[in-house]
Amino acid sequence: MIDEALLAEAARSAGLSPFSAIVERLDGGRRERAEAQPWLPLYPASMIKLPIAAAAWSRIAAGKLSPEQPVTVSESNLTPNDAPSPIRAGYVCPAGELIELMLARSDNVATNQLIDLLGREEITAYCHAIGLERTFVRRKLSGAEPLIEDPQATGRNAHPAGDAAALLAALDARRLPGSGELLAILAQQWWRGKLPLGLQAGDHLAHKTGDTDEVSHDGGILTLSSGRRYAVVLYTGVRSPDEDPRFGAWMRIVRRAMAED
């Protein structure tokens, strides 16, 4: 049985503290949801990129943006990335490619260009309209010190684990425009050194990670080999390498409980 006590014991055993976690079954079987400190105010890091992508697809669905629309990358949006990026100042990139780079490679330059394209206040308003009331896009992302110059910044971004789980559940249920497209991009995730380390043969996780020097997160839609689906989100207030066996240890404990359901 998956409950708050199991999530906490898994975090303690894995050495992940502080932490925030949600596990929710999504496939219509027996109702199963467990959460531990879902609103703990941990900085979201690159987890903020999924609500930005959802806002972009709402604009596409409304006919106000095309995935083929060319966008010229501004030098002011350049910042380091953890993965190789094709984006340079002056690069003309279709909006749809920016979304893919932002999610699959966690590209910070693509993210910053999309914030300019969509508007941070407009992204935040969309998030609140779909029920993500504690999500705020307030500043652009920086891949290293010093932070990117961002005169329009109004504070730190916010997207707690509880909102991340709610967004994933909405995408899984196809309640939002572009749900299928976004999940397909998450399934191509480059960074698979956290929760995927604890999965079993035949399992698949379409997910997004987020890291800074202070936090490390992972969350997505887990499809078991049996076909059952779960939203799984784990936020932590720890510094973490790209491949972190502690996340695998936590996931293994939770995965065994799923098998016993």
pLDDT score at 29: 75
pLDDT score at 28: 84
Q: How far apart are CA 128 and CA 163, in angstroms?
A: 10
The reply to whether 1-42+161-175+183-261 and 43-159 are identical in fold is: yes
Within 8 A by CB and 6+ apart from 15, the residues are: 246, 249
Domain ranges of the chain: 1-42+161-175+183-261, 43-159
Residue 260 tokens read as: 């016993």
Instruction: Dump the DSSP string for 87-133.
Output: --TT-EEEHHHHHHHHHHS--HHHHHHHHHHH-HHHHHHHHHHTT-T
Residues of the chain with pLDDT under 50: none
Length of the chain equals: 261
The CATH number assigned to the domain with range 43-159 reads 3.40.710.10
Stated pTM of the model? 0.97
pLDDT score at 146: 87
Tell me which fold the domain 1-42+161-175+183-261 belongs to: Beta-lactamase (3.40.710)
